[in-house]
């Protein structure tokens, strides 16, 4: 056996050497699956089991494809020009470029991206006189792409209601225009390849004879159409080597079909399931926790990760009073890790949804901890957040022309570039700002109504500034301008809606922290938002903030998984469905297995949604970890706060249960006291303003009884 095989463990060697038939390689996190896949190809080539033109290897990223090619060419003296190694989209593009006539395409067909698709859908909606507010272009595009992922043309789709009828009408028109203009989108690349092979027996038999071996990486991420394509390329003698991990199937929202893992065993008569269970990434305590969590999924094929690196430290669990305390604990723990020699870039904070980054970003900013939002943008730079901030800036200062221009037609209200240009010209000619121009510019009909509604709503909210706290102001702005309604109708509306809710929370936190220190709370909040978004987001030496979905395939020395509460992680939309709950558990499995040395899990007793306090219970995923594997940073049954009827000696006699008066928030009851004399703070349930945390030395409370 070649020298390079000597570095493989027993199971890896078995997977590489097996050549009797198709096989499924269950490759656990950190088990060296890419090494095994490439080693198998090299082994087969070096031993003349297959020739360089007799195999096709499919990956899910161009990076992975390049890595495989580089590894192969380092071990085999062969020109990679004949290799069919790449993504599904890349390989299908190659096929269609070669067989454009058979696919009913012209030689110079053009590939269009998602933005091009959206632009075409918008044009079709306009041409067909379809209401774009009722039938959002992004939603119709999702309908089209989802249909293609299932291998469905417009005539294949069963129409049951008006919505699907309209969507399918657009799909039919979309296909017609793409065919006329020789345009091919990403989904079409695979669907057109599949259809061409299905209907052309000679071509199909050619490729079945050519590709005697099919290698597929990340098999758990394949969708229905991709699996159909693989079966179309397979004959009775085809050997398929599928490498994947059903425990890491987390992309059902992208069309990934976990049942493909079970189907491939039956469809390819796989008798050889090899489990790669030795992990080269993490300490055993982390792996044991992952095994215990995922064992609660009854439909998995099954494997058990282990490591010879030793047990390592126990998993640390922090039970916070609220999300601010949770973020503060994470910041404090990061500083300790840095003092002990950890690099910032080797630390990651994982969360279920993007909105959770906001409070973390705020606390990190306060503590001068460099951070980077991996695969995304910082909270205050997100599109929906910036749109609301622009409204707030205009409410604060009607002379802000930049903000006016940003939101005059957001959400869409029929004010196009032509009208905006008219406003600009009128302003310039009359020495007015854009907002002032609205009152005097000649207008009529529908346009006049739009302008009046916009102007009056801005004025109305501005007049209420004195009576609204910051939370209420932000919330009212979102509601009155129907920003939440607009995003509710978008494909990505859930994530954007969560960010809007978190923006409301941000206002509340800011006001609590600065209630006695500023005259213009709104202006100071806007300035703070600008400061937090203004620093570079590209620092290499920075803590990595990311969703768990973004973390797949990555690893870090130290990992924090935050927000482990029922309804948040697992997400509330998944709890009622066993299928969805299993995917949430797989997501947790992915989160845990990102950690090499240190794993921290945290949850909050209280979390605010749209300014409303939500009392939470700990995620079931924490309960699924054995007690012997964890240690609580604070006591399991304690929230680390002072909860006593005895007065804290600050000279005011205030204790839990006291009724107090605050000059801004009014009357309320002290429900918790946290900290010591130097950093004492009160949690108060105000009658008119809800629950708030106030620093004892700044709050200036008056005890009523």
pLDDT tens digits for 398-410?
888 888 888 888 8
Is the separation of the CB atoms in 645 and 655 below 8 Å?
A: yes
**Nearest of 269, 263, 264 to residue 237 by alpha carbon:** 269
6, pLDDT greater than 90: no
702, pLDDT greater than 90: no
CA distance 534 to 526: 12
Q: Which tokens sit at 486?
A: 């607009």
Q: Which residue has the higher pLDDT, 32 or 600?
A: 600
**Nearest of 324, 377, 279 to residue 608 by alpha carbon:** 324
Q: Give pLDDT, residue 410.
A: 86
Q: Give pLDDT, residue 611.
A: 61
678, pLDDT greater than 80: no
* pLDDT band for position 444 (cuts 50, 70, 90): low
Q: Give pLDDT, residue 648.
A: 44
Mean pLDDT on 227-246: 95
pLDDT tens digits for 412-435?
877 777 878 888 888 888 888 888
Is the separation of the CB atoms in 507 and 391 below 8 Å?
A: no
Active-site hit among 239, 257, 319, 594: 594
User: What's the Cα-to-Cα distance from 300 to each of 258, 279, 590, rounded to whole Å?
Assistant: 9, 19, 15
CA distance 616 to 562: 13
Looking from the CA of 438 toward its CB, the CA atoms found within 13 Å total 23
Q: Give pLDDT, residue 539.
A: 58
Measure the CA dihedral 171/174/178/181, to 10°: 160
Is the separation of the CB atoms in 645 and 325 below 8 Å?
A: no
Active-site hit among 248, 521, 547, 683: 248
Mean pLDDT on 8-15: 91
Among the residue ranges 45-59, 160-174, 301-315, 395-409, the one predicted with the least confidence is 395-409
Q: Give pLDDT, residue 676.
A: 64
**511 catalytic residue (yes or no):** no
63, pLDDT greater than 50: yes
Q: Which long-range contacts (CB under 8 A, 24 or more apart) does 473-477 make?
A: 473/392, 473/395, 473/507, 473/522, 474/388, 474/392, 474/503, 474/504, 474/506, 474/507, 475/504, 475/610, 475/611, 477/388, 477/391, 477/392, 477/395
> What's the chain's length in residues?
705
Q: Give pLDDT, residue 638.
A: 38
With tokens 């038999």, the residue in question is 205
4, pLDDT greater than 90: no
CA distance 385 to 377: 11
Among the residue ranges 1-15, 22-36, 271-285, 495-509, the one predicted with the least confidence is 1-15
Q: Give pLDDT, residue 155.
A: 94
Q: Which residue has the higher pLDDT, 449 or 176?
A: 176
Active-site hit among 185, 188, 218, 582: 218
User: What's the Cα-to-Cα distance from 484 to each of 144, 493, 676, rounded to whole Å?
Assistant: 25, 9, 41
Q: Which residue has the higher pLDDT, 526 or 416?
A: 526
* pLDDT band for position 445 (cuts 50, 70, 90): low
The highest-confidence range among 40-44, 112-116, 190-194, by mean pLDDT, is 190-194
Q: Give pLDDT, residue 262.
A: 92
Is the separation of the CB atoms in 507 and 436 below 8 Å?
A: no
Active-site hit among 217, 322, 384, 584: 217
* pLDDT band for position 343 (cuts 50, 70, 90): very high
The rounded mean pLDDT for the chain is 87
9, pLDDT greater than 70: yes
277, pLDDT greater than 50: yes
Active-site hit among 33, 71, 281, 382: 33
For helices 114-127 and 137-149, give the axis angle rounded to 10 degrees. 120
Q: Which tokens sit at 354?
A: 């993007």
pLDDT tens digits for 620-671?
999 999 889 999 987 544 333 333 333 344 456 787 777 888 877 788 878 7
**217 catalytic residue (yes or no):** yes
Is the separation of the CB atoms in 604 and 322 below 8 Å?
A: yes
CA distance 4 to 18: 16
Which residues, 6 or more positions from 666, have their beta carbon under 8 angstroms from its beta carbon? 686, 687, 688, 689
DSSP 8-state class, residue 159: P
Q: Give pLDDT, residue 640.
A: 37
Q: Give pLDDT, residue 266.
A: 94
For helices 470-480 and 383-396, give the axis angle rounded to 10 degrees. 110
Among the residue ranges 202-211, 320-329, 434-443, the one predicted with the least confidence is 434-443
pLDDT tens digits for 127-139?
999 988 788 898 9
Is the separation of the CB atoms in 575 and 582 below 8 Å?
A: no
**Nearest of 582, 620, 702, 639 to residue 318 by alpha carbon:** 639
Pair type for strands 556-561 and 595-609: parallel
Burial class (CB in 10 A: 0-12, 13-18, 19+), 92: buried
**594 catalytic residue (yes or no):** yes
pLDDT tens digits for 469-481?
888 889 889 988 8
**644 catalytic residue (yes or no):** no
81, pLDDT greater than 80: no
584, pLDDT greater than 70: yes
Q: Give pLDDT, residue 641.
A: 36
Q: Give pLDDT, residue 670.
A: 80
Roughly how many angstroms between the first and final C-alpha of the chain, as a whole number?
84
Q: Which residue has the higher pLDDT, 313 or 472?
A: 313
pLDDT tens digits for 352-395?
988 898 889 989 988 889 998 887 788 888 889 999 999 998 88
Among the residue ranges 219-228, 261-270, 370-379, the one predicted with the least confidence is 370-379
**Nearest of 391, 344, 700 to residue 543 by alpha carbon:** 344
**623 catalytic residue (yes or no):** no
Mean pLDDT on 523-536: 74
Mean pLDDT on 451-461: 82
Enter the pTM of the model.
0.78
DSSP 8-state class, residue 672: E
DSSP line for 116-152: HHHHHHHHHHHHTT--TTTS-HHHHHHHHHHHHHTT-
Active-site hit among 14, 17, 19, 34: 34
CA distance 92 to 380: 39
Which residues pair with residue 685 across a beta bridge? Answer: 669, 691
**248 catalytic residue (yes or no):** yes
């Amino acid at each position: 056996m070649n020298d390079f095989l000597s570095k493989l463990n027993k199971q890896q060697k078995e997977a590489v050497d097996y050549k009797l038939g198709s096989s499924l390689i269950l490759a656990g996190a950190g088990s060296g699956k890419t090494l095994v896949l490439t080693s198998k190809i090299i082994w087969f080539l070096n031993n003349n089991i297959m020739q360089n033109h007799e195999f096709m290897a499919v990956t899910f990223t161009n990076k992975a494809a390049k890595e495989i090619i580089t590894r192969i060419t380092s071990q085999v003296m062969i020109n990679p020009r004949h290799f069919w190694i790449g993504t599904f989209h890349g390989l299908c593009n190659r096929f269609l470029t070669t067989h454009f006539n058979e696919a009913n395409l012209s030689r110079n067909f053009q590939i269009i991206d998602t933005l091009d698709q959206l632009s075409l859908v918008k044009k079709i909606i306009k041409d067909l006189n379809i209401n774009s507010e009722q039938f959002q272009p992004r939603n119709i595009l999702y309908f089209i792409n989802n249909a293609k992922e299932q291998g469905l043309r417009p005539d294949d789709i069963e129409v049951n209601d008006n919505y699907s009828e309209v969507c399918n009408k657009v799909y039919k028109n979309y296909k017609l225009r793409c065919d006329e203009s020789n345009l091919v989108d990403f989904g079409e690349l695979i669907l057109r390849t599949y259809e061409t092979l299905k209907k052309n027996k000679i071509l199909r038999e050619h490729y079945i004879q050519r590709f005697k071996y099919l290698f597929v990486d990340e098999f758990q991420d394949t969708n229905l159409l991709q699996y159909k394509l693989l079966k179309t390329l397979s004959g009775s003698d085809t050997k398929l080597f599928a490498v994947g991990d059903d425990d890491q199937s987390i992309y059902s929202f992208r069309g990934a079909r976990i049942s493909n893992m079970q189907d491939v065993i039956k469809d390819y008569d796989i008798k050889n399931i090899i489990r790669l269970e030795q992990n080269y990434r993490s300490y055993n305590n982390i792996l044991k926790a992952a095994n215990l969590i995922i064992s609660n999924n009854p439909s998995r094929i099954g494997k058990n990760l282990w490591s010879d690196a030793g047990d390592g430290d126990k998993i640390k669990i922090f039970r916070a009073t609220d999300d601010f305390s949770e973020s503060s604990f994470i910041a404090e723990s990061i500083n300790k890790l840095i003092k002990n020699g950890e690099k910032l870039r080797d630390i990651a904070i994982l969360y279920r949804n993007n909105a959770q980054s906001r409070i973390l970003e705020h606390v990190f900013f306060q503590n001068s901890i460099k951070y980077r939002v991996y695969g995304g943008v910082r909270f205050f730079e997100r599109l929906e957040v910036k749109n609301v901030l622009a409204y707030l800036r205009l409410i604060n200062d009607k002379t802000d022309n930049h903000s006016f221009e940003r939101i005059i037609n957001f959400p869409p209200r029929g004010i196009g570039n032509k009208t905006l240009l008219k406003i600009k010209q009128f302003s310039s000619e009359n020495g007015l700002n854009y907002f002032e121009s609205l009152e005097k510019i000649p207008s009529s009909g529908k346009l006049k109504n739009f302008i009046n509604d916009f102007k009056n709503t801005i004025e109305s909210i501005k007049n209420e500034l004195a009576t609204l706290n910051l939370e209420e102001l932000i919330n009212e702005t979102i509601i009155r301008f129907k920003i939440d309604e607009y995003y509710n109708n978008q494909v990505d509306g859930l994530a954007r809606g969560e960010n809007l809710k978190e923006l409301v929370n941000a206002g509340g936190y800011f006001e609590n922290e600065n209630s006695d220190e500023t005259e213009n709370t709104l202006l100071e909040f806007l300035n703070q938002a600008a400061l937090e978004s203004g620093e570079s987001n590209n620092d290499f030496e920075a803590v990595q903030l990311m969703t768990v979905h973004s973390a797949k395939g990555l690893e870090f020395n130290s990992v924090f998984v935050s927000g482990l509460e029922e309804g948040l992680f697992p997400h509330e939309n998944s709890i009622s469905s066993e299928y969805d709950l299993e995917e949430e558990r797989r997501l947790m499995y992915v989160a845990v297995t990102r950690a090499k040395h240190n794993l921290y899990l945290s949850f909050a007793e209280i979390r605010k949604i749209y300014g409303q306090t939500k009392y939470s219970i700990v995620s079931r995923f924490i309960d699924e970890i054995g007690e012997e594997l964890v240690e609580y940073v604070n006591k399991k049954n304690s929230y680390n706060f002072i909860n006593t009827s005895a007065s804290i000696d600050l000279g005011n006699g205030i204790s839990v249960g006291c009724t107090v008066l605050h000059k801004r928030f009014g009357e309320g009851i002290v429900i918790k006291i946290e900290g010591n004399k130097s950093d004492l703070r009160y949690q108060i349930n105000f009658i008119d303003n809800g629950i708030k945390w106030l620093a004892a030395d700044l709050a200036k409370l008056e005890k009523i009884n």
